[in-house]
Amino acid sequence: MNMSLNAPLKWARLLLVLALFAAPALTMIPKQTKADSPPSVTLVAFGDSLTAGYMLPPGDSFPSQLQVALAAKGYKVNVINAGVSGDTSAGGLQRLDWSMQPGVEGVILELGANDALRGIDPSLTKTNLEKIISKIKQKGAAILLAGMKAPANWGPEYQATFDVIYPELAGKYQLALYPFFLEGVIGEPGLTMDDGLHPTTKGVAELVKRILPQVEALVKQIQDRKAAATATAKP
How far separated are the first and last CA of the chain, in Å rounded?
Answer: 60
**Per-residue DSSP letters for 59-124?**
GGSHHHHHHHHHHHTT--EEEEEEE-TT--HHHHHHHHHHHS-TT--EEEEE--HHHHHHT--HHH
71 contact partners, CB below 8 Å, separation of at least 6: 77
Residues annotated as part of the active site? 49, 195, 198
CA distances from 189 to 21, 149, 198 (A): 70, 19, 11
The DSSP symbol for 190 reads T
